[in-house]
Amino acid sequence: MVFIRSVERSSVSDSEEFPFSLPLIRNLKPMDLSSPVTFLVGDNGSGKSTLLEAIAIAAKTVAVGSSSLETDPSLDQVRELADSLRLVKNRVPTRGFFFRSEDFFGFIKKVKREIQEFRDLEQEYGRKFTGYGRMLSMGSARAQYSALMARYGENPDAFSHGEAFLHLFKSRIVPDGLYILDEPETPLSPQLQLTLLSLIKTMVSQSCQFVIATHSPILMAFPEARILSIHGSEISEIEYDQVEQVSLTRSFLSDPENYLRRL
């Protein structure tokens, strides 16, 4: 059973400021998210990422980034939109996260900083305390940075960009969670996108729900996913073969010279 069944506007704003100026937001109709995997597709600037951010805020998900959804200054205006949304839920998620590809490096820097802080704390406790108290305090700090290293590696920068993304997903996606992902394919090779698809398939079987904004024909091919296409102010459910990115990619690959001659 999915967590969020649908999203709709609970109030309408007269504001002409972003994000209420976007045609999609201004005319937002109830959006069906009752599939375990839902993709939002559309051109850049269509509003899909903004809508995804607002859903994540309204759902009170944890952000994978250097700032929380409540404090991230880049989301100040989107939080107003989130306040106007109503999420129709089957159940309240207690696990999961919101992920934007542009937040990834900030998150890795945060993890590295926390590992070093716990190491420094262990050394400080070693100097400050003695006896049993010293053993307990140092052990607590050591356990904290050891847990971070077990999850993300001693040096998260040692991975390639795409490998680090995938390692993050594998370490953070757990059963019975809600995962809201904005263009997770950005650094992933086609092979790693297939690996991500496999991970999503496994976690759907363990009661996870995914809402994903993407341009990737590979990700959109997930079996039985709901694909919601954004055109101007309208959101409509379409089949995989009707997705513009899919048909364009197929057309290009079947005759690339025909496209390249027109450049």
Where the chain has pLDDT below 70, the residues are 65-67, 104-116, 141, 145, 147-162
Question: Model confidence over 203-231: pLDDT tens digits?
Answer: 999 999 999 999 999 999 999 999 999 98
**Per-residue confidence (pLDDT) for residue 125, from 0 to 100:** 75
> What's the pLDDT at 108?
61
Peptide bond into 19 cis (omega under 30): yes
The pLDDT assigned to 3 comes to: 96
What's the pLDDT tens digit per position in 88-115?
A: 999 988 899 998 877 766 666 666 666 6
**What is the assigned CATH class of domain 4-106+156-260?**
alpha beta
